[in-house]
Structure 1
Amino acid sequence: MVDSTTDALPPEAATTVTEPQPEPAKVFTGTAGASAQREYDRRKDKREARIRDDHPYLGKLILAVSDDPQSTQAWATGARGEEVLGQRLDKLTGRGVHVLHDRRIPRTRANIDHIAVCPAGVFVIDAKKYQGRPSLRAERGLFRPRTEKLIVGSRDCTKLIHGAHKQVDLVRSALEDADLEGIPVRGVLCFVDADWPLFGGDFTIDGVHVSWPKKALENLLKPGPVDDQTARHIHRTLASSFPPA
């Protein structure tokens, strides 16, 4: 005999079965320094092939006793700086910091080294591995307004500040397009292995913080207005806006 008990249950006693929501796809954080390393390898391979073609018998000897030009070595140095900073950033992922490495700026050949999303907001971090001491130089003439320059060793590197502003503006625009306006976005120039003094030394120039890895990372752990759920949403949004380079 068929049991009709279930059919006799009142409608309000019926159990509603809901399909489980799929887990969001995991964000690929990227590989720090990957695009710079690829560019170094490309230039190095191109030079080696050219020398071997031009000097079939002496090419191997020429390569053994000569170095890559400075313009090529700079890519390897930059990749190493990004990798060192990226490793330190990755150690903060369990402490409320969500990171992205080596992100491509759409429709350009440029990239953003690191993006960190944390309670204090979004930090756009440009890693540099330069020799010399970073310093702020203020200049003012009798008939000129005050100007500030970023000096590293004896070199004027103020153009790095302009580059940081462009990256910050791009990240801010991506957030506004995703209805996330109002999120604090800050630019950071982080000099790895520079000649920093024993005490102090970091500074801000035109809104961009110039610092070393330990000091820069301390700011990522400070409290702020962004809760973790919002931070994860921002992280996913920026990962989509700036794909891996």
Structure 2
Amino acid sequence: MPQELAEKRMRLRYAGTCRVCDAALAARTEAVYERSTRTVRCLTCSPPVPVDVASAGAGPPAALEPDPVDSGVAGASARREYERRQAKREARIRAKHPKLGGLILALSDDPQSTTAWSTGALGEERLGTRLDELATDTLRMLHDRRIPGTRANIDHLAVTPTGVYVIDAKRYVGKRPTLRVEGGVLRPRVEKLVVGTRDQTKLVDGVLKQVELVRSIVAEDVPVLGVLCFVESDWPLIGGAFTTRGVDVLWPKKLYPRLTSSGPHAAHVVDLHARLACALPSA
């Protein structure tokens, strides 16, 4: 669906809440309405979209010069997958129950296998919004990059003076990531990532694969660092962040200072950004 049909910038008739950052939006506030999800986004969390002339009471915005590099949209592929699964479920229920389909949909929730995509997309969107706010000439972002030959993607890539950060965003609301170490003296040392009560070491494995892929694209002397960034998790007041098998496990505010630090590779940021964007297209 074209963007001008899928989204509309308008003044809200009623109060609402931003889908991305949960900010309260008062009635008459300008925001972006998403027709596909029937939700709104505040302007801070929204890329420029065409203005609805009738709603905003103004002419169309001036054309913007396009960025030569497609930086991508955070969470876009996960959001599309959620909407695809939701639409497929709705079509199936309405076909099976022509008269009661609408009522069944209104009284039932999507299965967890579907809502998980929305949860993941929201985590990527929220982190991506803040990362874009940090972007400068020497800190450039890429979002939702497709890994060629697979259905997988890389959530975020930050190209900085200290190296390239491969950032995997995870949204486990209220759950605490911890490092569990087993063995070490008489047995081989094994590190496990536990989130809440579940072993999620596979998340570390996934980041390490992404790091190796990115490392094969950039120059040999440029560090490539893996990050698992947990959004809205239950982090302790003191400490909490840790590193396992070379992957940093932390929360957004702990990540931002690392990305904005000065380093020896500032002169290569623009070239690396373009090279990665070409090798890993937008998903």
Give the TM-score taking structure 1 as reference length.
0.86
Amino acid at match of 2:281: P
1:204–1:141 CA distance, 2 compared to 1 (3 A): closer
1:53 is paired with a residue whose SS is helix
Give the structure 2 partner of residue 98 of structure 1: 140
- After superposition, what is the alpha-carbon deviation per residue over 1:203-223, rounded to whole angstroms, capped at 9, x for unaligned? 000000000001011111122
Letter in structure 2 aligned against 1:51: I
Instruction: Report deviation, 1:89.
Output: 0.5
SS in 1 for 2:217: helix
CA distance in 1, matches of 2:87, 2:231: 27
Structure 2 residue aligned with 1:6: none
CA distance in structure 2 between the partners assigned to 1:136 and 1:197 by the alignment: 13
1:187 maps to what in 2? 226
- Relative distance call for 1:225 and 1:143 in structure 2 (3 A) is same
Separation (CA, whole Å) in 1 of partners of 2:67 and 2:139: 18
Higher relative contact order (CA 8 A, sep 6+): 1
Residue type matched to 1:114 in 2?
H
Q: Against the structure 1 CA distance between its residues 95 and 233, is the aligned structure 2 distance closer, same or farther, given a 3 Å change threshold?
A: closer
How do 1:2-81 residues align onto structure 2 when only pairs under 5 Å count?
A: 26-81=68-123
Contact between 2:137 and 2:270, CA under 8 Å: does it hold in 1? no
Structure-to-structure mapping, 1:1-245, within 5 angstroms: 26-94=68-136, 96-131=138-173, 132-140=175-183, 143-175=186-218, 180-227=219-266, 229-245=267-283
Deviation at 1:142, TM superposition (A): 6.8
Give distance in 2, aligned partners of 1:38 and 1:153: 28
CA distance in 2, matches of 1:137, 1:129: 20
Instruction: Structure 1: state its 5+ residue gaps.
Output: 1-23
What letter matches 1:115 in structure 2?
Answer: L
Higher helix proportion (structure 1 or 2): 1
**What is the DSSP-based 3-state SS (H/G/I as helix, E as strand, rest coil) of the residue aligned with 1:137?**
strand
Give the CA deviation at 1:95. Answer: 6.4
Cα distance, 1:49–1:94 mapped onto 2, change above 3 Å: same
CA separation of 1:75 and 1:28: change in aligned 2, threshold 3 A = same
- CA distance in structure 1 between the aligned counterparts of 2:262 and 2:136, rounded to whole angstroms: 15
Following superposition, the deviation at residue 141 of structure 1 comes to 7.1
One-letter amino acid of the counterpart of residue 189, structure 1: L
Q: Superposition RMSD on alpha carbons, in Å?
A: 1.4
Per the alignment, in what secondary structure is the counterpart of residue 74 of structure 1? helix
Q: Take 1:144 and 1:233, find their aligned partners in 2: how far apart are those partners?
A: 46
For 2:269, the aligned partner's letter is A
- Counterpart-to-counterpart distance in 2, 1:133 and 1:96: 33
Residue 96 of structure 1, CA deviation: 2.3
TM-score, reference length from structure 2: 0.74
One-letter amino acid matched to 1:159: K
Residue aligned with 1:191, SS: strand
Structure 2: tracts of 5 or more residues without a match: 1-65
Give me the whole-angstrom Cα distance separating, in 2, the residues matched to 1:214 and 1:204: 16
Partner letter of residue 226 of structure 1? H
Whether the aligned pair in 1 keeps the contact of 2:138 and 2:270 (CA below 8 Å) is: no
SS at 1:113 equivalent: strand
What residue identity is the alignment partner of 1:235?
A: H
